[in-house]
C-alpha cells in the first residue's frame, strides 16, 4: 500500500520564539489535523534543556516550563496529539537534552543541520567553509547515532535543510553534493539498525521536487538501507500545515514509498 500522509510529527506552536502567529495554538493545530484526516500529530517546539549548559539567551528561554504551557494538549477520538520537542545539537556535538529527560517527551526531534547558528551549532572558524559544512553534515549525524538514545522515539529532522549551506542556496547544493554515497550508506545503515525515523520535512520536500536528483539522493539511499520515514510539516503557522501536501505526494511517488516504509512510531496501530 502506498505511503499515506496521515500524521505530522514536526509542528511548532506560538511557544517557539521563531513562530510569530498567536493562532498557531494546540486547538487550531488539532482542528487542522481533524480536517486532514490525520491520526497522529506531535507538538515539537524548540527546546534547550536547562540542565545542559551553553544555551544562548533566546534558546534558554524555551525551557521545559515554557513549552509545557501548551499542555494539556487537546485530544480527539480519531487524532492522538503527542507532546514532543525539537532539541538541538551544539557545536561540540552535545545534545541539548539530557538522556534522563527523554522521558518527559513522547517523541524527540533532533536537528543536525541548523548550521545558520554561528557558534551555537557551527564554530566560528568553520562557519565560512563549504567543505567543512559538508563534513559537519556527516560528523554531526554520526555523533547523534553514537549516542545511547531511545531511537524508537527519535526523528532525524530536515537532513536536506537549506541551512546546511548558509548563507547561500548554492553553498547548500554544493555541500550536499560533496557528501559521497558511501558515507550516506554508512550513516543510513546505522539509522536502520537503531530504528530512528528519517523526516520528510515540508520545506525540504518543496525544494526537493525542483531538484530531485540532488535533493532526494539522501532519502533514496536511506530507503535502500532500510530506513523508515515520517512526515513533518515543520509548520510555524496554520497555512504551512497544508502547503506541503502536493510536494509530499510527488516525493512519495519519486521515492516509491509504501506504508511498509513508514516509521513505526507514526503508524496507526502504535
CB atoms within 10 A of CB 181: 12
CB atoms within 10 A of CB 69: 11
Q: Judge whether 107 and 42 are in contact, CB under 8 Å.
A: yes
Given the rule CB under 5 A, which of 29-37, 68-76, 83-91, 191-199 is the region that contacts Zn ion?
Answer: 83-91
Cβ distance to Zn ion smaller for residue 163 or 189: 163
Which residues ranging from 196 to 255 are in contact with Zn ion (CB under 5 A)?
234
Q: How far is the CB of 36 from Zn ion (least distance, A)?
A: 19
Q: How far is the CB of 28 from Zn ion (least distance, A)?
A: 17
Helix (H) / strand (E) element for 191: namely helix 181-194
Q: How far, in Å, CA of 82 to CA of 9, rounded?
A: 8
Beta strands in 104-258, from DSSP E residues, in sequence order: 107-110, 154-156, 197-201, 228-232
Cβ distance to Zn ion smaller for residue 112 or 171: 112
Q: Judge whether 153 and 265 are in contact, CB under 8 Å.
A: yes
Cell output for 190: 546505522
> Collapsing DSSP states into helix, strand and coil, what is residue 233?
coil
Q: How far is the CB of 86 from Zn ion (least distance, A)?
A: 5
Given the rule CB under 5 A, which of 19-27, 103-111, 166-174, 237-245 is the region that contacts Zn ion?
Answer: 103-111
Cβ distance to Zn ion smaller for residue 110 or 251: 110
Can residue 88 be called a binding residue for Zn ion (CB under 5 A)?
A: no
Q: How far is the CB of 260 from Zn ion (least distance, A)?
A: 27
Can residue 86 be called a binding residue for Zn ion (CB under 5 A)?
A: yes
Can residue 111 be called a binding residue for Zn ion (CB under 5 A)?
A: yes
| DSSP symbol at 165 | G
Q: How far is the CB of 25 from Zn ion (least distance, A)?
A: 17
| DSSP symbol at 237 | S
Which residues ranging from 133 to 192 are in contact with Zn ion (CB under 5 A)?
none
Q: How far, in Å, CA of 101 to CA of 106, rounded?
A: 11
Number of residues that bind Zn ion (CB under 5 A): 3
Can residue 261 be called a binding residue for Zn ion (CB under 5 A)?
A: no
Q: Judge whether 15 and 239 are in contact, CB under 8 Å.
A: no
Can residue 49 be called a binding residue for Zn ion (CB under 5 A)?
A: no
Cβ distance to Zn ion smaller for residue 183 or 234: 234
Residues lying near Zn ion in the complex (CB under 5 A): 86, 111, 234
Amino acid at each position: 500500500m502506498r505511503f499515506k500522509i496521515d500524521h505530522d510529527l514536526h509542528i511548532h506552536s506560538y511557544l517557539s520564539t521563531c513562530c510569530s502567529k498567536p493562532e498557531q495554538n494546540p486547538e487550531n493545530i488539532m482542528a487542522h489535523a481533524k480536517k486532514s484526516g490525520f491520526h497522529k500529530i506531535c507538538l515539537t517546539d524548540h527546546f534547550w534543556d536547562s540542565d545542559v549548559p551553553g544555551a544562548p539567551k533566546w534558546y534558554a528561554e524555551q525551557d521545559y516550563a515554557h513549552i509545557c504551557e501548551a499542555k494539556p494538549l487537546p485530544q480527539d477520538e480519531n487524532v492522538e496529539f503527542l507532546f514532543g520537542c525539537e532539541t538541538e545539537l551544539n557545536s561540540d556535538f552535545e545534545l541539548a537534552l539530557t538522556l534522563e529527560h527523554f522521558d518527559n517527551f513522547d517523541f524527540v526531534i533532533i536537528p543536525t543541520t541548523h548550521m545558520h547558528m554561528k557558534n551555537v551549532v557551527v564554530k566560528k572558524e568553520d562557519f565560512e567553509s563549504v567543505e567543512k559544512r559538508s563534513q559537519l553534515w556527516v560528523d554531526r549525524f554520526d555523533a547523534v547515532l553514537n549516542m545511547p538514545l531511545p531511537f524508537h522515539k527519535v526523528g532525524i529532522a530536515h537532513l536536506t535543510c537549506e541551512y546546511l549551506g548558509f548563507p547561500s542556496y548554492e553553498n547548500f547544493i554544493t555541500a550536499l553534493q560533496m557528501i559521497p554515497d558511501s558515507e550516506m550508506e554508512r550513516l543510513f545503515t546505522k539509522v536502520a539498525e537503531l530504528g530512528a525515523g528519517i523526516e520528510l520535512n515540508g520545506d525540504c520536500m518543496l525544494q526537493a521536487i525542483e531538484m530531485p536528483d540532488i535533493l532526494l539522493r539522501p532519502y533514496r539511499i536511506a530507503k535502500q538501507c532500510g530506513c523508515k520515514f515520517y512526515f513533518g510539516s515543520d509548520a510555524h503557522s496554520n497555512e504551512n500545515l497544508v502547503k506541503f501536501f502536493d510536494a509530499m505526494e510527488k516525493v512519495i511517488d519519486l521515492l516509491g514509498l509504501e506504508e511498509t516504509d513508514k516509521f513505526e512510531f507514526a503508524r496507526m496501530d502504535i
